[in-house]
Chain A
Amino acid sequence: MTATEQQTGTSVMTNVEAVRTTLHDALARDERVLIMGEDVGSRGNVFLITKGFFEEFGPERIIDTPLAEASIVGVAIGMAMEGLRPIAEIQFADFIYPAFNQIVGEAAKTRYRSNGDYTCPLVIRTPYGGGVRGALSHSVSIEALFYHVPGLTILAPSTPADIKGLLNAAIECPDPVLFLEHKKTYRSVKGEVPCGYYTIPIGKADVKKTGRDVSVVSYGYNLHQALDAANRLEGEGVSVEVIDLRSIRPMDKTTILESVRKTRKLLIIHEDNKFGGIGAEISAMVAEEALFDLDAPIRRLCGPDVPAMGYALPLEEEFMISTDAMVEAMRSLAKF
């Protein structure tokens, strides 16, 4: 990778390349930016996201940490309190539990408990999600475990352009951000990315496809399936609007409500477990704000309420939501 950032035009890249180039340019741009985590140094991270960074930026900025998640986040909090812009990596989202206290009890409350005397401008990046034969401990969605926490921003962009804009916004954010990257989209999703530095405002959903019959709210890998499903239904005359949530917290109430008031039907799709998932919050919000604008019950298509997907292919496939299931859910909701 060259250190020079092209300033104009667009280039096509995968999601993983978007993460990589955004991190690279952030390091080149701002000396306060550091990357820390397990195997991020000479190994270049297990997905090769930081490959070459160690040689280019040195061990002081690309820090291989001991295998201890609480201290990866805790040490990054201290750096952030002291004015640096650490980007801490949790190797797989499922490994984040030992750092739960540091994220929820410490990072998210630093500004609040000190009444603004100390702040915590920290980014925690982590790959999440299934469909890659990751089994119990390499495929879990963790967003619902964290979105209950005021003070914590949670982003889950799905396209390379959104990854770049929102990762830049996360690094600029003066408060802690949990940045979720769906593993299955790392290499399977490709798209055009504007060159040069830009940010996308945190807290804004994106209408990835407009439609008039059903509103679908999704994010992550499911978002791409939902778009495929919606495109398939176009041939049947069913017009589906697909909203990419992108920012889980803060959540874009306005975009969701505007869409629901137009289509009068809502389907929420996420890979995370159904019970207490993000869809529950969106359903409650829409029921509170727009119940009488609805022409059908709100529908959720989510991961089943089991601890995780299995390693065996049939168990993984049983857990993951198929595009066919999405087509069926959209079709039946449109007909309701």
Chain B
Amino acid sequence: MAKTTTARGPELERAGLSDEQLTAILRNMLLQRQLDNRGFQLNRQGKIPFALGSEGHEAVQSGAAMAFRRGRDVLVPYYRDLGLALGVGMSPFEILSSLFARQTDRNGGRQFPNHYTNHELGVASISSIIAGHCTHATGIAAAFRYRKESGRAVLCPTGEGATSQGEWHEAVNYASVHTLPIVFLVENNQWAISTPQTMQMRVANVADKAAGYGIPGTVCDGTDPVATYRAVHAAMERARSGGGPSIVEAKCYRFLSHSTDDDDRTYRDRHQVEEQRKHDPVPRFEERLIAAGIIDAAAAKKLRNDVLRETNEATDAAEAQPYPAPDTLYTNVVAGDYRPWQE
């Protein structure tokens, strides 16, 4: 995977990533930021009822997505994984179809936005129940193991709040007992809606819990996509080669409210948010790539323009789609025709 850099300027820690891969990470971060903003804008314009934000998670998710092998691995994401969904191949049109709840949404307009599903790409359907998806991820990893499909792994992200749930514990424990190929990625943005990390756990790091399951736990800088890539890549490789599960905790920060229905001013000091904004991972990574000579300022500007155009086009295209037909309410309850009272 590693490619010798032709870049000039200061040495960039790249964890074996090529210039193209590093640029793709930046592009994904910019696209994620753009789509995030679009969701909140559309909500403020009254065009969509709800959106979830992932600002501050761009580095974690774009780095982790680079460790995902399309066509092999399975992602069981949670609702704040926009950058992972994009990074593993979902399109802005799919994302916007979901925001607008149009018939072109994979879920057929049934789920809240940001509940990604794409079986072909290996993005497993989830509900909104926190950590409910973690045992499914473990089960998918168990299926890989049962069929002796080595070289495949499952990536199961959550926030740090999810690690308080029994189902997260049960999923990690089961995966550990059965040495399953799975990585539990904890995107620790320090807030579960209004509850800070200190009210979720008495340990400094979620990764510290790994010892209790007898598996490795690592902490990485979730504001640095290369650091996240390095940690997730190592854990995924370990899983793929039969080494079993691990926990990777990426420390980051949630810049936006939990959702468009949440006002974080009711529980969070603005000063804290402003301080964190100074370390915004998106411009920081762009500056790093420019400083290392991997892209120049003009190329960076073009990337930004490209993702804005792509977002605009996807917005228009998705908005123009029809809503799902009302009678689709009755489909896919079970296979075939659904009749509550069988004839």
Of residues 125 to 174 in A, which have CB atoms within 8 Å of B's CB atoms? 150-151, 153, 174
B343 x A254 contact (CB < 8 A): yes
Among residues 231 to 285 in chain A, which have CB atoms less than 8 Å away from a CB atom of chain B?
A: 247, 250-254, 285
Which A residues are in CB contact (< 8 Å) with B342?
Answer: 203-204, 247, 250-254
- B141: interface (CB < 8 Å): yes
The stretch of B25-33, B45-53, B168-176 that contacts the partner chain: B168-176
A residues in contact with B177, CB < 8 Å: 66
A113 touches B127 (CB 8 A): yes
Cβ of A118 and Cβ of B117 under 8 Å apart?
yes
Query: A71, A80, A82, A114: which contacts B167 (Cβ < 8 A)?
Result: A71
Q: Report the separation of the CA atoms of residues A73 and B132 in the bound assembly, to the nearest whole angstrom.
A: 11
Report whether A74 and B332 are in contact in the complex, using a CB–CB cutoff of 8 Å.
Answer: no
Contact yes or no, A71 B333, CB < 8 A: no
Q: Is the CB of A118 within 8 A of B124?
A: yes
User: Is the pair B171, A81 in contact by a Cβ cutoff of 8 Å?
Assistant: no
Instruction: State the interface size on chain B (CB cutoff 8 A).
Output: 49
Chain B residue numbers with a CB within 8 Å of A84 are 143, 146
Q: Are B334 and A117 in contact (CB under 8 A)?
A: no
| B335 touching A175, Cβ below 8 Å | yes
Residues of B within 8 A of A61 (CB): 146
* A83 interfacial by beta-carbon distance below 8 Å: yes
CB distance from A237 to the nearest CB of B (A): 34
Q: Is the CB of A66 within 8 A of B139?
A: no
Query: Which stretch from B83-91, B106-114, B190-198, B297-305 is at the chain A interface?
Result: B106-114
Indicate whether A115 reaches chain B with its CB closer than 8 angstroms: yes
**What residues of chain A lie closer than 8 Å to B259, measured between beta carbons?**
none
CB of A78 closer than 8 Å to a CB of B: yes
Q: Does A105 contact B (CB under 8 A)?
A: yes
**A111-B119 Cα distance, complex, nearest whole Å:** 12
- Whether the Cβ atoms of A75 and B174 lie closer than 8 Å is yes
Q: Is A331 an interface residue (CB 8 A)?
A: no
| Beta-carbon contacts under 8 Å, B305-341 to A | 328, 331-335, 338-341
Determine whether the beta carbon of A68 is less than 8 Å from that of B173: yes
By the criterion CB–CB under 8 Å, are B125 and A75 in contact?
no
Interface size class of A (residues with CB under 8 A): 35 or more
Contacts of A81 in B (CB 8 A): 124-125, 136, 139-140
- Cβ of A47 within 8 Å of any chain B Cβ, yes or no, is no
- Counting chain B CB atoms within 10 Å of each CB, the highest count among A65, A83, A114, A150 belongs to A114
In the bound assembly, the distance between CA atoms of A66 and B328 in angstroms comes to 40
**Bitwise interface map of B from 122 to 145 toward A, beta carbon under 8 Å scored 1, else 0:** 001101010011111111111110
Are B142 and A79 neighbours in the complex by a CB distance under 8 Å?
A: yes
Binary flags per residue of A71-110, CB closer than 8 Å to B gives 1, else 0: 1011111111111101000000000001001100110011
Q: CB of B115 within 8 A of chain A?
A: yes
**B166 contacts partner chain A, Cβ-Cβ < 8 Å:** yes
Instruction: Assess the B137–A78 pair: CB atoms within 8 A.
Output: yes
Name the distance in Å between A169's Cβ and chain B's nearest Cβ.
13
> How far is it, in angstroms, between the C-alpha of A101 and the C-alpha of B138 when the chains are bound?
16
A76, B107: Cβ atoms closer than 8 Å? no
Does A225 count as interface, using CB distance less than 8 angstroms? no
- Please tell me if the beta carbons of A71 and B106 are within 8 angstroms of each other in the complex: no
Contact indicator B332/A115 (Cβ below 8 Å): yes
Q: In the complex, how many angstroms separate the beta carbon of B323 from the nearest chain A beta carbon?
A: 14
Selected contact of B174 from candidates A68, A80, A82, A116, CB within 8 Å: A68
In the complex, A119 has a CB within 8 A of chain B:
yes
Is A83's CB under 8 angstroms from B332's CB?
Answer: no
In whole angstroms, how far apart are the Cα atoms of A65 and B174 in the complex? 8
Task: Using A71-B171, A250-B342 as known contacts, say yes or no to A113 and B135 having CB atoms under 8 A apart.
Answer: no
Tell whether B118 is near chain A: CB-to-CB under 8 Å. Answer: yes
Bound-state CA distance A119–B333 (Å) is: 10
When the two chains form the complex, which single residue of B74, B136, B174, B334 contacts A77, counting CB atoms closer than 8 Å? Answer: B136
Q: Are B146's CB and A71's CB within 8 A? A: no
Measured CA separation A98–B133 after assembly (Å): 15
A98 to chain B: which residues have CB within 8 Å? 166
Among B124, B146, B178, chain A packs the most CB atoms within 10 A around the CB of B146
In the complex, which residue of chain B has the Cβ closest to the Cβ of A152? Answer: B334
A74 touches B132 (CB 8 A): yes
Q: Is A198 an interface residue (CB 8 A)?
A: no
Q: Is the CB of B167 within 8 A of A78?
A: no
User: Other CB < 8 Å A-B pairs besides A71-B171, A75-B138, 14 of them?
Assistant: A34-B146, A75-B139, A81-B125, A83-B143, A101-B129, A105-B129, A106-B136, A111-B332, A115-B110, A116-B331, A117-B118, A203-B342, A253-B341, A285-B341
